[in-house]
Amino acid sequence: MNDGKWRRSGKRLGASTILAFLFLAPGMVWGVESLKSKPGFNLFKMQQDVQLGKENAEQIDKELPLVTDPQVLRYINDLGRRLASLAPHNNSEYAWTFKVVNSSDINAFALPGGYIYVNRGAIVAAENEAQIAGVMAHESGHVVMRHGTHAVSQALLAQAPLAILGGILGQTGSLTAQLAEMGLGLGVNSILLKNSRSAESQADEVGTYILYQAGYDPHAMAQFFEIVEKKYPQKTIQFFADHPVPENRIKVVDSEIPRLGPAKEWKTDSPEFEATKERLLSLPATPAPPASAGSSGPPPLPSSRLIKFEGKGFSIDYPDNWQMQQNEDAVALIPPGGIVEDAESGSAQAYGTSISRFQPQSSRQGNWGLIDATQELLDTMRLSNPNLRVIKQGGMKLEGRAALSTLLETDSPLQGQKERDLLVTTRQSDSLFSLIFIAPESLFDAYKPTFDAMLQSLELQ
Ligand SMILES: [Zn+2]
């Protein structure tokens, strides 16, 4: 977050879309005809989904630690294939291969063509079979809706005319290599894994449908996502970065369920699930992710060694494992990985400090107050952060000057998380000097001592 310097405006599903969604429910049409969604625009053939998925799976198998326990793999593959066999828009070409990543983070992802990865942490966090079935049914939804190759198709279309694409994608050889040549990186940080909110809604819709057909309580999927997001905010960062939470997830999913058919006596758990969970809990602790696994997990905590940054008219100390980015009207001090790239909302600072000067409108009249000018800055920030909320505000001293400290809450660019911001403002000649200290809510307390030390080191001219 910050005052709009690093954040481009995001597209959000508007309230009217949600309403349309709810009122469209056509009563008694049950079964696959009741699915609203179909796979979207796609330049790839179905077999190419499988080829691309296979090539990337080979890459990912090298990048991520996998559970090799045969009993766990048999259970997950039996369950996964049973669910996939009920998926709409299924295709006999799909591989439907399920692997378990040996990580305590709660995550799951699907490659095109039916290569699905579920983290050990997700299985252990599930309270029963219906919940983990929900996760796997959701991932199967990404496969049958072809979200991976749909996203690549859109990216390709943006950079090359169709005629050229037809030629390239028609060739034989490694698709992954051809796409890499066009600048589309693959592996664990691939565009194949970054879902849009609308893709998420579709995967929810398919996942709910599959759960119903398989005899599980179809509420289990959305409930699991909501529970783990609240209960384990630090373990779900990657999941919600790749699977942005659709607005009103539970409500929208609940409204789908009556269209699927009459309520049944739901299956909730199985002895096989409980045995698998126990087996995973008894395996040795999960290894630390390799450095190449990229953006999984939060940045390392701030170093206690501080270095000085000399800016225009001020200086401040900051942790020596952070980086500095500067443009003409703002300075950002950022931990590694503290900027989040998101296909829908652009790039935004999720951790660190942003320092800038603000020119209040009221300054034109010469005589202006700190509180009014800070209010004006907050109004400006709300243009790109409509959910920005003041938690508390109070006076403080900054190098002997009157200053205002404002604690804020807003949506973090880390999908599905809340963010805390400490805004400190003071007057510096005719402008408002502002520092924003940023961290996800769950980590704010861990960053607070660093933020305090930085504030104490501030020197203003
Ligand atoms: Zn998803």
Given a cut of 90, is residue 85 above it in pLDDT? yes
What is the DSSP annotation of 193-223?
Answer: G---HHHHHHHHHHHHHHHHHHTB-TTHHHH
What is the CA(114)–ligand 1 centre distance, in A?
14
Q: Determine the pLDDT at residue 130.
A: 97
- Percent of the chain residues topping a pLDDT of 70: 83
What is the CA(200)–ligand 1 centre distance, in A?
5
Single pTM value for the model: 0.58
- Residues less than 5 Å from ion ligand 1, measured at CB: 195, 200, 203, 243
Give me the chain's average pLDDT, please.
83
What is the CA(268)–ligand 1 centre distance, in A?
22
Q: Determine the pLDDT at residue 10.
A: 35
Given a cut of 70, is residue 267 above it in pLDDT? yes
What is the DSSP annotation of 54-80?
Answer: HHHHHHHHHHS-B---HHHHHHHHHHH
Q: State the residue for tokens 């953006």.
A: 295
What is the CA(461)–ligand 1 centre distance, in A?
50
Q: What is the spatial distance between Cα 176 and Cα 187, in angstroms, rounded to a whole number?
A: 10
* Structure token pair of residue 210: 């599959």
Nearest one of 363, 352, 376 to 425, comparing CA atoms = 376
- Residue 106 · residue 416 · CB < 8 Å: no
Q: State the residue for tokens 């597209």.
A: 11
Report pLDDT digits (tens) over 380-403.
888 777 889 999 999 999 888 899
What is the CA(189)–ligand 1 centre distance, in A?
15
- Residue 409 · residue 441 · CB < 8 Å: yes
Choice among 72-81, 262-271, 363-372 with the minimum mean pLDDT: 363-372
Given a cut of 60, is residue 9 above it in pLDDT? no
DSSP E strand boundaries for 267-398: 306-311, 314-319, 323-327, 330-334, 339-342, 346-349, 352-358, 389-398
